[in-house]
Chain A
Amino acid sequence: MAHLKQQFKDALSSIEPSDDKTNAPEAHRLVRDALEADAKLTEYGVSPVLIGSYKRNVSIKRIKDVDVFVRLPDMPSDVTSKDILDKFFAVLHAEFGTDSDGHRRTKRQDRSLQVSFPEYDLYVDAVPARPHWDGETWEIPQKGDENEWVRTNPEGLTSLSSEMNAAHDGYYVPTVKLLRQTRRAQLGKKKPGGFFFELATYQAFASGAVSGSDQAEYYVSALTKVSKILENFVTYGIGVNDPTLAGATIHIRASDEELEAARTRFADAAISADDALAQEDEGKAALAFQKLLGKNGDDKTVFPMPPGFNEDGSKRASAILAGARVVPAGTRTFG
């Protein structure tokens, strides 16, 4: 059994966002400040909060999008989704203007406004939200042109994530990151996106089918279960649950070809991961995990080879002798 504990740790640190960790909150702050400075939005009780993978600590290098959920508890009900998106556009465009190509930095999207931050190479999505009648969840625009709203509870997901992580001895969050990285390596920019895989992973954990005693076991177990969820979704149309809204499933925009490709790639990935875990030869196992996890945002291989193995997975003849656990006593003078 190849558990490659240190290599999984190294893989996780290799996909950990670096500079983005400081840039993302700064970009978020600039958007929040702009929205909070507007008199009309203040009247609506504007109260932006960071959501999304960044907030839930499951984002991987490089972070490109930061989501801001803009709660408007006092917005009158006659304000349509188009009105509020227009208002957001006016406020954000006035604040952020155009980039050097003369393109507007603020872009309309179906349910949010996207503001680009070229200096950080990232985007902030500001999503307006009005209270749902239950007083506990929220509604966000469904489409910009009509007054359609869809129910959501992103903050609920933030707390569910932390609970799940605690319940699994801290293995849930790193497993989501590894699954997201696997998605990126296997599907690239094709859909379904990271959010689908995050919720599929949540569902897999919630079903009780994911377990393990180390990161390798958790990863392989989650990948196997997620590939089944994906299979059921693609083949039988069984939806992936939104754990924050009872009975609701999540909606994704992926073409049939994309879904079929994702199904095949993940089915293969699950088999390959399972074989790697059972593999006695650490080099062969590492090579398989290396293929599953691909390269990070800095174009570096995510999963390293263990000591004593060549990059092609073959074992070098020499024996490995561990370094000492202590530095020999005594100060030493060099000149």
Chain B
Amino acid sequence: MTRSPARIDLSDDAHETIASKSAEQLPLETGGVLLGYREGRNIVVTHALTIDGQAGTNRYVRDDVRANELLEEFLAGRADDDPTGYVGEWHSHPTPSGPSPTDVAAMRAIARSIADPVALLVYAPGRTNPFIGLITQRHRLGRITSTRAEVSFPSSRFTPLGPLPDGAVRGDGPVFISYRQSDGTPHAESIEGLLRAAGLVVWRDNSDLRAGTTIDRLEQALTKGLSAGVLVVTPEIVYSEIVRERELPRLLELDNDSAFSLCIANAIPRAGDGSKCDYGGPDRLLRLSPARTLADKKQSNMLAPTGEVEIVRDLLMHRVEQRRPKIREEGRPFTIRVQTRPTPFALEADEDDLHIRIRSSDNGRLPSGEGLENLKTTLPLTGDAVYASGAKTARISGGAHLSVALAIGAALPETKIGNVEVLDARDQIWTSVTPEDDPMITQVHSRRLTLAGPRTPKVQDRAAIFISLTPAPDETAFERLLHDSTEPFATAAVISITGSDRIDSRESGRLSAAIARLIKQLAATNGRAEVHLAFHGPYPMAILIGRYLNTLRTVVYEWENSHTSDSLYSPALILEPGTAGGPITDVLVRGGQGES
């Protein structure tokens, strides 16, 4: 009768330690000691300790002094009757190979100094069974044997994933962000803010995970219609079972569909050059190595300032590619829904081509400074995306702060996008093209204001303009703007309307062009002055006027109604659509926590 080989039983805890530490250190070896007890012929490993030592790609030296320190620390927390103690050694092999002659020699040397059998575990990722076990034992007369041992460990607590259901990929669905909370949250938040500002709907656990078991809810989110995924890879992702066992396999399955786009946001620095990322890192930390599953995909370097923008551009263009055939076929406008006030979330994924959202403000009436910074980064991309869609018309709906409306208009200039339509809350269309049925009731009127104060040569540069498109405008806040300004203005004017109480949407094309003309004239008479623009009027008009600001440098103000003082105009943005990186070149609202 042949005796079955002795077994090394590995606990879940020991298995996780060895697998994650090995993944973390690849392509170098790592290792440590095995703790547990012997049960008959078998060795039960309850814990694995990692011992820092000298490590290379084919060598690992385990230091006994450090090992004893860590073992002593471990034993201090154990009960006095606990049998757990040193039972062997473990180390990793970066290539899928078993114990080497050096390994066997090391174990024989250990066996000489210890009476009981000792285990060696080699962890070699890439093999079907990555653990190879050896039990070395000293016999009578000093004879030492090393025999292969079976290695057993508990199966994963995650049940296998079922097949991907139909409809799991949806061109207009949200973008899923997968990350490790402990060190990936800042990257995930930053990417989320930019994607939302660019017009993509995002699924994020913190706002979109419903009550219930996390794993079930995640599975629903991953299978009910996503357009793209961003996998944020940070050093601690090696410890994320959820990303490794659930999110990653699903994202890879989804990525097999050409309508899906998977972006890898790599934040693993390359050894020796912290500004470049290690393209092998994602496979290694997610235990896919030595396969190059993620290394062979495009990765964006999160350690460089352009990394996030690259992801936003890729996903925006992916969205346009998905939509372009339909837009062309139907000859329909490119639709953008805008919202700058409520907190955004994933339910918004709908029929619109883009859905621009910025972070909700901490500060009452003003838009969020952080949100505007995001918009500053993404608006040039959005303008390109609309252009690339080939649509003749861009149709905007929703609602926004007026400074944002002017900026969106400036991102869709008449020189680039033929026509812009704005759908108001009553479903009226305001368009930049003057229709034949323009009732011609409303006219534009401009009035110069007399300015007090000394004139210096520099004041030639600044013109303050108040556009008030409601009858009997309240000019108090604008007067405060003039009065409180630290630098004087060369000229100030009010552009208002006459002839009607309310602008008819059919007049919007003619009126927006006329108002833009007046603004440009006022700027020109003062040597192409910087325009300081306070706007009071319908939101569609702000978008349509914004389209004509391309030759100007405009400081856009936002009306701020404070509880403690009178209302005033605060500078929000600087628009310079003609320059690189425009239309927003500066954000003047203070951002971040506790905006004031």
- Residues on A lying within 8 angstroms of B by beta carbon are 3, 5-6, 8-9, 19, 97-101, 118-119, 121, 299, 307-308, 316-335
Q: Could you say which residues of chain A place their CB within 8 Å of the CB of B100?
A: 334-335
Q: Is the CB of B40 within 8 A of A333?
A: no
Most central of A19, A319, A324, A334 by chain B CB within 10 Å = A334
Q: Is the CB of A329 within 8 A of B113?
A: yes
Q: Is the CB of B106 within 8 A of A332?
A: yes
Q: Is the CB of A325 within 8 A of B86?
A: yes
Q: Is the CB of B78 within 8 A of A118?
A: no
- How close is A30's CB to chain B, nearest CB, in angstroms? 10
CA distance A103 to B516 in the complex (A): 43
CA distance A101 to B84 in the complex (A): 50
Smallest CB-CB separation from A330: which chain B residue? B64
Complex interface bits, B82-126 against A, C-beta within 8 A gives 1, otherwise 0: 111111010100000000111100100110011010000000000
Which of B203-211, B256-264, B584-592 participates in binding chain A? B203-211
- How close is A304's CB to chain B, nearest CB, in angstroms? 10
Contact of A322 among B37, B67, B110 (CB under 8 A): B37
Q: Could you say which residues of chain A place their CB within 8 Å of the CB of B293?
A: none
CA distance A335 to B104 in the complex (A): 9
Smallest CB-CB separation from B208: which chain A residue? A100
CA distance A333 to B63 in the complex (A): 9
Contact of B68 among A3, A100, A317, A326 (CB under 8 A): A326
Q: Could you say which residues of chain B place their CB within 8 Å of the CB of A331?
A: 53, 61-64
Q: Could you say which residues of chain A place their CB within 8 Å of the CB of B84?
A: 6, 322-323
Q: Is the CB of B207 within 8 A of A100?
A: yes
Q: A99-B207, A334-B102 are in contact. Are A325 and B75 (CB under 8 A)?
A: yes
Q: Is the CB of A328 within 8 A of B110?
A: yes
Q: Is the CB of A327 within 8 A of B33?
A: yes
Q: Is the CB of A334 within 8 A of B83?
A: no
Q: Is the CB of B39 within 8 A of A97?
A: no
Report whether over half of chain A's contact residues are helix, strand or loop; otherwise say mixed: loop
Q: Is the CB of B37 within 8 A of A307?
A: yes
Q: Is the CB of A308 within 8 A of B110?
A: no
Q: Could you say which residues of chain A place their CB within 8 Å of the CB of B214?
A: 121
Q: Is the CB of A320 within 8 A of B39?
A: yes
Q: A325-B75, A327-B33 are in contact. Are A307 and B83 (CB under 8 A)?
A: yes
Q: Is the CB of B62 within 8 A of A5?
A: no
Which of B343-351, B381-389, B475-483 participates in binding chain A? B343-351
Q: Is the CB of A323 within 8 A of B91?
A: no
Contact of B64 among A97, A100, A308, A327 (CB under 8 A): A327
CA distance A324 to B346 in the complex (A): 55
- How close is A311's CB to chain B, nearest CB, in angstroms? 11
- Residues on B lying within 8 angstroms of A by beta carbon are 29, 31, 33, 35-42, 44, 53, 58-64, 67-68, 71, 75, 77-87, 89, 91, 100-103, 106, 109-110, 113-114, 116, 157, 181, 205-211, 214, 342-343, 345-347, 360
Q: Is the CB of A98 within 8 A of B343?
A: yes
Q: Is the CB of A334 within 8 A of B68?
A: no
Smallest CB-CB separation from B347: which chain A residue? A100
Q: Is the CB of A318 within 8 A of B40?
A: yes
Q: Could you say which residues of chain A place their CB within 8 Å of the CB of B101?
A: 335
- How close is B350's CB to chain A, nearest CB, in angstroms? 14
Q: Is the CB of B113 within 8 A of A328?
A: yes
Q: Is the CB of A100 within 8 A of B39?
A: no
Q: Could you say which residues of chain B place their CB within 8 Å of the CB of A332?
A: 61-62, 64, 89, 106, 109-110
Q: A323-B84, A327-B86, A329-B113 are in contact. Are A334 and B29 (CB under 8 A)?
A: yes
- How close is B217's CB to chain A, nearest CB, in angstroms? 10
CA distance A327 to B35 in the complex (A): 10
Q: Could you say which residues of chain B place their CB within 8 Å of the CB of A121?
A: 209, 214
Q: Is the CB of A9 within 8 A of B210?
A: no
Q: Could you say which residues of chain B place their CB within 8 Å of the CB of A6?
A: 78-79, 81-82, 84
Q: Is the CB of B37 within 8 A of A321?
A: yes
CA distance A118 to B209 in the complex (A): 7
Q: Could you say which residues of chain B place their CB within 8 Å of the CB of A19?
A: 181
Q: Is the CB of B81 within 8 A of A324?
A: no
Between-chain CB contacts (< 8 Å), 30 pairs: A5-B82, A97-B343, A99-B207, A99-B345, A100-B347, A118-B205, A119-B206, A307-B83, A308-B39, A318-B40, A318-B41, A319-B39, A320-B37, A320-B38, A321-B116, A322-B85, A323-B84, A323-B85, A323-B87, A325-B85, A326-B68, A327-B33, A327-B68, A328-B64, A329-B113, A331-B64, A333-B102, A334-B62, A334-B91, A334-B102
CA distance A326 to B113 in the complex (A): 12
CA distance A293 to B79 in the complex (A): 20
Q: Could you say which residues of chain A place their CB within 8 Å of the CB of B181?
A: 19
Most central of A5, A119, A320, A322 by chain B CB within 10 Å = A322
Q: A100-B208, A324-B114, A332-B64 are in contact. Are A316 and B89 (CB under 8 A)?
A: no
- Given A100-B207, A119-B207, 9 more A-B residue pairs with CB atoms under 8 Å apart are A5-B80, A97-B342, A100-B347, A119-B206, A321-B83, A324-B114, A328-B64, A333-B106, A334-B89
Q: Could you say which residues of chain A place their CB within 8 Å of the CB of B87?
A: 323-324
Smallest CB-CB separation from B105: which chain A residue? A333
Q: Is the CB of B37 within 8 A of A323?
A: yes
CA distance A321 to B214 in the complex (A): 41
CA distance A331 to B65 in the complex (A): 8
Q: Is the CB of A335 within 8 A of B59?
A: yes
Q: Is the CB of A9 within 8 A of B64?
A: no
CA distance A278 to B76 in the complex (A): 27
- How close is B433's CB to chain A, nearest CB, in angstroms? 37
Q: Is the CB of A334 within 8 A of B85?
A: no
Q: Could you say which residues of chain B place their CB within 8 Å of the CB of A316?
A: 39-40
Q: Is the CB of A118 within 8 A of B67?
A: no
Q: Could you say which residues of chain B place their CB within 8 Å of the CB of A99?
A: 207, 345
